[in-house]
Each structure stands twice: as structure tokens, then as C-alpha cells.
A and B are shown apart, each in its own frame.
With several copies, the nearest count.
Chain A
């Protein structure tokens, strides 16, 4: 899945790859040409990524090479212990979680799992969780509360799974329950939107004290395609809908829906996985350390006020 707006960049990258292959074994051959191409690639990627349209950002956020939760687990966590099951019906793989250590901070990590290979995609339903996933997440968060561990939640989902059985087992209730419980959880909650923040499926594990977003992640009440097909009566008008919906990190920061943007290297997280993950790690650690200093009661009150203030315009009686 190449991004069409990356075409000039991909051309140069392909050329670099060719030269590297041709010159393999020889250190000097093509060296200057490659250096020059790399400089050019950097400059072009900066230019492209500075001017991404919202719809292009959506495509970047969905890029298959973007770091996924398993990459974060491998690269910025140690001592990860995955925990399974909702103690009621099953073990959903669309949301996974467990104990993790991030920069010496012990946390409960939860997040959507999209999977890399086709088999993984199918097993975890492309990150579209079932009610069991939300209920497992809640169980783990309550455990974190009891063990006084902060919760770190990584958001990356097209949305909660719209299936027959998901409805039967209470997709709506499972998400709603999490929203209520997370608002009162007596431990810090750090949310990082790393890829797609897809509607109810995203916010179902997205209530917290710090809401952080990778630069090219998106967060939206409905997919641009869905919005376009309803309000434009034409799914292909998704680029228009993406723009109208204000789904990008800069817009969300202005709207105070998020607290901080983690910049991505030029060319996007899919080009610089390690660098991106390291930045995510540092930001998580910073927020955990800040939030741990806040007394639980105050933390919960501030969390409440944070969400209560969203969509409050002008002075209201309270």
C-alpha cells in the first residue's frame, strides 16, 4: 500500500535502494550519489509532510508500516506480561494488555492490536475489538488501580467491530461501562493515539488524564468515508469529509481534545519507527511522572473537569 502523494519520495528511495544493491560490497561506489539522494529525500519528505492534507494524514495514520502495539511492546517496554480474558466470555485479541515497564516505570499497558501479517490481522480483527476486548481492558485497569500502577493506553483502531455477535454481547454497554469506570479510576491514565482513533472503539479505552497524539495520527467521531457517504451521499468524498471533520492532531490540540502532540520524523512514523517509538516513550514517562505526583482524588476531579469542559462554550450555570 503505497501512498500516492509520496510518489516523488518513493522514487528517490527506490533509486537509493538500487544503488545500494549495485554497490554492495564496495564502499565508495555511488557513495556521493547516495548521499545526495538522501539529502534530497529528506528535503522532499519534509516538504510533503509539512503540507499533508487531512485526507493524506488519514492515509499516513493507517499506513501498514506504522509502529503497532507489538512494536511498542518490543521496543520501548521491558518485562511485558500479557494478561488474557474478560472473566466472562472470551479473550479478544483486538485489544491486548498486560504489565509492562517503560523507562523503569511499571505500568498496565493496554491498546488496540491490528496485527501485521494477514493471519494476525484476522486473529485480532484488524484492531476492531469485540465487547470482550473492552471488558478485558476494564479488568486490567481495575487491577492496575489495586496495584497502584498507572495505565497507559495506546489507541489505534478503525472502530469497534460492527458484528452480529458483538451487538449480542453488548458492544454498546461495554464501551459505555469503560467510559464511566475510566472517569473514576483511582490511578493515572495516559492515552496515546498512535494511529487511527476510530470513534467509539477508540474512546472506549481513551478516557484519561493526559491525551497525547502522534503528529500524523487521526481521531474522529466517524471515518471520513462513513461521514462522506452519509452527508455527501458519496463515499468517495472522504477527502472533503476528512477536512470538514477536523481529524488531525493540530486541530485537536486547538480544540483541547488532546494535550500534546508528539512530532513525527519527516516522512512519517512508518519511515522512522525507532525514532518515533523513542519519542513516545519519553512522552509517556514525562506524563506518568507528572501525574504520579497528583493525589488520587484531585486526579479524578481534574479528569472529570477536563472532559466536562469539552464542548462547553460560553458561561454555563453549574
Chain B
């Protein structure tokens, strides 16, 4: 085994373009296999981050996605400048690099012909941080779901608030939760899917108050950072701390659903949540 691993590593070093290294267990997996496995490590079941486009492809019926509010973009409400320069420049560079306007993409689409509204966060955009544009898009999509009485599904992936927007970022927590509360009141279903990682201000707002809270296996989910907690309580945290499995055990998740089963899961779930002629005979 050691020999095989070594040899595989050597091969990987020789032809790096062919190999992907699992961020969790460091196994070397053929890029083709990695992609075919939906970026889930065949060795350790690590669910690697997806781009919003990959998520849409996995979740929605082919060609059914229509983006809404694509033009909503970042703002720089406090003209923020840190050690590395201005937020405005950083945001502009990010937008250009990954061709997104904000850390979330919203729109409508179908899951097995059932219309839904989705908001899909993308960690590549400043760590999926909750900026004013992010919050605005999540709220606007909720309002769209409310008007059209369609189930709303948010896929979270976020390091938390976007501190470059200061207090305005904090306010997005209240803003998005207010939008969800309106759905609750109107009986419009809202499902939260927490993917790796969902922490800080996003965990403490829309991501944990789904009618159902779903998570991908192994996803890191928590309010405070591991380091901050360890410094505060002066002790080491258990290895499984803040994993999806840990949250399930502590009562905060309804279910852990593997990536490959996610669409089927929603196809099975949605009929319980929506009124249709076929429903309840």
C-alpha cells in the first residue's frame, strides 16, 4: 500500500493535470473520476465545494433554470479599506475572475417538473460571505417565491458575514430572516441545505431556520470558529465538532443527504409540501 501510494504520488507529481488531491484525506483521485463522482471523494466521502453552476446542474431539470435579479451586485457602503487595499477593488477583481456579481445566484427552475425558487451560494465569491447584495438577492428570491407560492430552497456555503461591508453585512442576517418569516407565515415551504462550510452569520440566519434543515455529509456547520472556541474554553474540541453528523445528533438537522441523492430527495419531499390537484387525493 505504501508503495502504491508513493508511486501514485509520483505519478501525480509527474502529471499533475490528471490528478485531483482530496482536500480532506489527501488521496489522489483521477480528475475524471473526481468529476464523475460529483466532487465527492471516493475514499473519505468528503463533499467538496461546488460552483453554483454545478449545483444547478445537479439539482434542477435540464434547462429549467432561469436566473432572477442577476444584476444585483456588490456595494461598498462604508468605503472599506484594509491592509491589502480597498474592498471595491477586491470585489471588482473577484467579479471579473469568476464571472459572478455576488456570492449567491438566485432563480427559478424545476425539480422533476415541480417549480421551485432557488438561491445557491458560491464559496468562490469572497468565501460566500453575506454582503448586502447577497442578502438582497436572497430576500428578493424569497419575495418571488412568496408571490408565486413556490417552495424556496437555499443552498448555503459561507464563512459568515462580509466584514468589508461592516454593519450593513450584519443587517443582512435580520433582513434575510425577515424574508423567511414571511414565507413561514404564508405557509410557503422553505428548505435550507447546508453545505461545506456554513458558518458565522449565515449559520445564524436563514441557513438554520428551514422548515427542514438538510445538510451534505461532513459539512462544517457552526456559529463560532473552531479557533475562537478553543481559545475561549481553553480546551481542544472533539474531531467531529460542528460537522453535519454532530448537528443531526444535537437536534438541528432533519436529515443528511448525500450529493448524489439530493435531487431525488427533493423530488420525494416536495409533494408533501405543495398543494397540487394530485395531492391528498
Interface residues of A (CB under 8 A from B): 79, 81-91, 99, 104-106, 132, 136, 143, 146-149, 160-164, 166-173, 175-177, 179-184, 199-200, 203-204, 206-207, 219-222, 227, 230-233, 237, 241, 244-247, 251-252, 255, 257, 292, 303-304, 307-308, 310-313, 316-318
Return chain B residues, CB-CB under 8 Å to A91.
248-251
Return chain B residues, CB-CB under 8 Å to A89.
250-251
Whether B252 lies near A170 (C-beta < 8 A) is yes
Whether B208 lies near A170 (C-beta < 8 A) is yes
Return chain A residues, CB-CB under 8 Å to B223.
160, 162, 166-167, 171-172, 175, 200
Q: Which of A162, A164, A307, A311 gathers the greatest number of chain B CB atoms within 10 Å?
A: A311
Q: Which 7 A-B pairs have the closest CB atoms?
A: A311-B132, A162-B224, A179-B177, A85-B251, A183-B178, A172-B203, A172-B223
What is the bound-complex CA distance between A85 and B251, given in angstroms? Answer: 4
Q: Which of A86, A87, A172, A292 gathers the greatest number of chain B CB atoms within 10 Å?
A: A172
- Determine how close the nearest CB of chain A comes to the CB of B244; give it in whole angstroms: 11
Residue B174 is within 8 A (CB to CB) of chain A in the complex? yes
- Determine how close the nearest CB of chain A comes to the CB of B104; give it in whole angstroms: 13
Whether A162 lies near B75 (C-beta < 8 A) is no
Cβ proximity bits B166-186 to A, threshold 8 Å, 1 near / 0 not: 111111111101111110110
Whether A222 lies near B168 (C-beta < 8 A) is no
Cβ proximity bits B50-61 to A, threshold 8 Å, 1 near / 0 not: 000000000000
The residues in B between 175 and 206 inclusive whose CB is less than 8 angstroms from any CB of A are 175, 177-182, 184-185, 187, 189, 200-201, 203-206
Whether B281 lies near A105 (C-beta < 8 A) is yes
Given A255-B77, A316-B140, A317-B140, the answer on whether A163 and B229 have CB atoms closer than 8 Å is yes
Whether A231 lies near B83 (C-beta < 8 A) is yes
The residues in B between 214 and 271 inclusive whose CB is less than 8 angstroms from any CB of A are 221-225, 228-229, 232-233, 235, 237, 241-242, 248-255, 265, 268-269, 271
- Determine how close the nearest CB of chain A comes to the CB of B59; give it in whole angstroms: 17
Whether A200 lies near B204 (C-beta < 8 A) is yes
Residue B82 is within 8 A (CB to CB) of chain A in the complex? yes
- Determine how close the nearest CB of chain B comes to the CB of A255; give it in whole angstroms: 6
Given A221-B169, A227-B163, A245-B166, the answer on whether A164 and B69 have CB atoms closer than 8 Å is no
Return chain A residues, CB-CB under 8 Å to B205.
175-176, 179
Q: Which residue of B lies closest to A169 (CB)?
A: B250
Whether A246 lies near B175 (C-beta < 8 A) is no
Whether A308 lies near B229 (C-beta < 8 A) is no
Whether B224 lies near A171 (C-beta < 8 A) is yes
17 sample A-B contacts, Cβ–Cβ < 8 Å, listed by A number? A90-B250, A169-B250, A172-B221, A173-B209, A173-B252, A176-B208, A180-B184, A184-B178, A199-B170, A221-B167, A231-B84, A244-B81, A245-B167, A307-B175, A311-B135, A312-B136, A313-B77
What is the bound-complex CA distance between A91 and B241, given in angstroms? Answer: 16
Q: Is the interface of A mostly helix, strand, loop or mixed?
A: mixed
What is the bound-complex CA distance between A230 and B165, given in angstroms? Answer: 15
Given A183-B174, A231-B163, the answer on whether A147 and B189 have CB atoms closer than 8 Å is yes
Return chain B residues, CB-CB under 8 Å to A219.
167, 170
Whether B187 lies near A147 (C-beta < 8 A) is yes
Return chain B residues, CB-CB under 8 Å to A175.
173, 204-205, 223
Residue B100 is within 8 A (CB to CB) of chain A in the complex? no
Residue B72 is within 8 A (CB to CB) of chain A in the complex? yes
Residue B13 is within 8 A (CB to CB) of chain A in the complex? no
- Determine how close the nearest CB of chain A comes to the CB of B209; give it in whole angstroms: 5
Whether A84 lies near B251 (C-beta < 8 A) is yes
Return chain B residues, CB-CB under 8 Å to A207.
174, 178
Cβ proximity bits B140-178 to A, threshold 8 Å, 1 near / 0 not: 100100000000000000000101011111111111011
What is the bound-complex CA distance between A168 and B201, given in angstroms? Answer: 17
A311: contacting residue among B75, B84, B208, B224, CB under 8 A: B75
Binds A, one of B3-11, B34-42, B91-99, B272-280: B272-280
Given A200-B170, A304-B182, A318-B143, the answer on whether A146 and B249 have CB atoms closer than 8 Å is no
Q: Which residue of B lies closest to A90 (CB)?
A: B251
What is the bound-complex CA distance between A136 and B271, given in angstroms? Answer: 22
Return chain A residues, CB-CB under 8 Å to B168.
255, 257, 310-311
Return chain A residues, CB-CB under 8 Å to B173.
175-176, 179, 200, 203
Residue B212 is within 8 A (CB to CB) of chain A in the complex? yes
Q: Which residue of B lies closest to A99 (CB)?
A: B272
Whether B181 lies near A184 (C-beta < 8 A) is yes
- Determine how close the nearest CB of chain A comes to the CB of B197; give it in whole angstroms: 12
Residue B22 is within 8 A (CB to CB) of chain A in the complex? no
What is the bound-complex CA distance between A317 and B137, given in angstroms? Answer: 10
- Determine how close the nearest CB of chain A comes to the CB of B110; give it in whole angstroms: 19
Q: Which residue of A lies closest to B202 (CB)?
A: A172
A81: contacting residue among B175, B232, B272, B281, CB under 8 A: B272
Return chain B residues, CB-CB under 8 Å to A176.
173, 177, 203-209
In addition to A106-B280, A220-B166, 12 A-B residue pairs with Cβ atoms within 8 Å of each other are A83-B212, A85-B251, A99-B269, A105-B280, A146-B187, A147-B189, A162-B223, A179-B174, A179-B177, A246-B78, A307-B171, A308-B175
- Determine how close the nearest CB of chain B comes to the CB of A227; give it in whole angstroms: 5
B232: contacting residue among A136, A163, A231, CB under 8 A: A163
- Determine how close the nearest CB of chain A comes to the CB of B240; give it in whole angstroms: 12
B69: contacting residue among A104, A307, A317, CB under 8 A: A317
Whether A147 lies near B171 (C-beta < 8 A) is no
